[in-house]
């Protein structure tokens, strides 16, 4: 499985690199022509939650054969005992075509890429029970335009995530703790799910933590609607963690433009709004840590189709611009997949893979200890 994982990531990152290079060099009009879907939005029937009773509707879930979330890097041992927490993970965009506004559930290419993302990004959480739904994700071009079809595509993707979350909750044990995690489009949709299904509900009391990574969480327009606060301590349970990674010198203009296209959870513009930056090396916002605090970066080895862990290489600082700065590009062979502007979006999780795993375990243990009191 690991060999397939790294083979797929090579193809995926090349495609995404081509996309971001175009964003860097081309005008906005040409960018839309190249990547925004050139078809009408296709109305699709809403799927009932019961559709996700079918194991085939999940990339990962307990009991699933060849579950990609169970993968671990070489040298990392599986825990002898699982943590009693159920993790709902929403994978990032794996559909980059422009022939539809939403990916079909049976699209082979995007399904393979989704498996890859779950393997690399959900594996830090596999000390618990990982559930990762398949959903009719919005095409990558959706986030490059303000066309009304983009909002329709996002709504369709969100409806699938919401329906799958219903089945996730039905399968929980009574009072079982939960964790939420997502990256990029997954994080974007997770914000909304927290407003609609966590805030003001008993599930908020069962939440170990929410890792909303790779999409900005506006401090003014999102956070107050999400039902739980931002994490202020490394051992604090029931709170939100978020960051966006860049190296220096960083050019974040394109990222901020994409952010400003969308409204916050309060339906107001987020343009110019500060967003949450949690330092994954310290577990708290607005902080800095040297490379010695990094427990391990997952470095893919494409030639061998394997990967290695590299500890104490990548530092991290939450800077006044609200991005997580990792200093100069790290001296690691990450491949030619860093995006223009020194954007390390594709590596948001893998740069801090071991710290994220430790953060999940620490907040889960803190939640369990709180219940015992």
Which residues does 191 contact at the CB level (< 8 Å), separation at least 6?
A: 212, 215, 217, 222, 226, 265
Q: Can you give the pLDDT at residue 215?
A: 97
> Quick one: pLDDT at residue 26?
45
**Per-residue model confidence (pLDDT) at position 300:** 76
Which residues sit opposite 278 in a β-bridge? 285
Confidence at residue 339, expressed as pLDDT on a 0 to 100 scale? 84
In this predicted structure, what is the pLDDT of residue 286? 94
Instruction: State how far the Cα of 326 lies from the Cα of 174, in Å rounded to an integer.
Output: 41
| Helix, strand and coil percent figures for the chain, each rounded to 5 | 40, 15, 45
Instruction: Give the model's pLDDT for residue 23.
Output: 47
pLDDT of residue 307: 75
According to the model, what pLDDT value does residue 25 have?
A: 45
As a whole number of angstroms, the distance between CA 349 and CA 244 comes to 10
pLDDT in tens, 351-370: 999 999 999 999 999 999 99
Residues of the chain with pLDDT under 70: 1-34, 301-306
pLDDT of residue 301: 66
Could you give the CA distance from residue 137 to residue 94 in angstroms, rounded to a whole number? 8
Burial 115-130 (b: 16+ CB within 10 A, else e): bbbbbbbbbbbbbbbb
What pLDDT, on a 0 to 100 scale, did the predictor assign at position 187?
98
Q: What is the pLDDT of residue 54?
A: 98
């Amino acid at each position: 499985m690991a060999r397939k994982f790294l083979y797929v990531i090579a193809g995926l990152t090349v495609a995404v690199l081509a996309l971001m290079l175009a964003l860097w060099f081309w005008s906005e009009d040409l960018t839309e022509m190249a990547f925004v879907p050139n078809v009408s939005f296709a109305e699709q029937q809403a799927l009932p939650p019961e559709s996700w009773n079918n194991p085939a509707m999940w990339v990962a879930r307990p009991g699933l054969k060849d579950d990609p979330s169970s993968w671990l890097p070489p040298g990392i041992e599986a825990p002898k005992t699982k943590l009693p927490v159920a993790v709902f993970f929403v994978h990032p965009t794996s559909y980059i075509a422009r022939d539809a506004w939403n990916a079909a559930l049976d699209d082979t290419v995007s399904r393979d890429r989704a498996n890859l993302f779950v393997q690399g990004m959900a594996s830090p959480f596999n000390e618990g029970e990982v559930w990762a739904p398949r959903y009719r994700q919005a095409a990558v071009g959706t986030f490059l335009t303000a066309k009304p079809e983009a909002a329709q595509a996002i709504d369709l993707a969100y409806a699938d995530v919401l329906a799958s979350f219903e089945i996730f909750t039905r399968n929980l044990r009574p009072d079982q703790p939960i964790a939420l995690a997502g990256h990029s489009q997954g994080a974007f949709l997770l914000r909304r799910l927290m407003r609609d299904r966590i805030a003001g509900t008993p599930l908020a009391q069962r939440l170990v933590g929410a890792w909303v990574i790779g999409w900005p969480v506006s401090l003014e327009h999102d956070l107050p609607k999400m039902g739980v606060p931002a994490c202020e301590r490394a051992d604090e349970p029931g709170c939100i963690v978020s960051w966006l990674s860049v190296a220096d010198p960083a050019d974040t203009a394109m990222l901020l433009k994409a952010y400003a296209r969308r409204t916050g959870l309060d339906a107001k513009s987020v343009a110019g709004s500060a967003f949450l930056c949690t330092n994954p090396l310290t577990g708290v916002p607005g902080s800095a840590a040297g490379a010695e605090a990094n427990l391990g970066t997952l470095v893919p080895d494409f030639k061998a189709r394997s990967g290695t862990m590299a500890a104490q290489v990548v530092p991290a600082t939450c800077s006044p611009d609200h991005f997580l700065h990792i200093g100069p590009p790290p001296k690691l062979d990450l491949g030619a997949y860093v995006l223009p502007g020194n954007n390390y979006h594709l590596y948001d999780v893998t740069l801090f893979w071991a710290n994220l795993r430790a953060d999940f375990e620490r907040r889960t243990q803190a939640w369990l200890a709180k219940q015992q009191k």
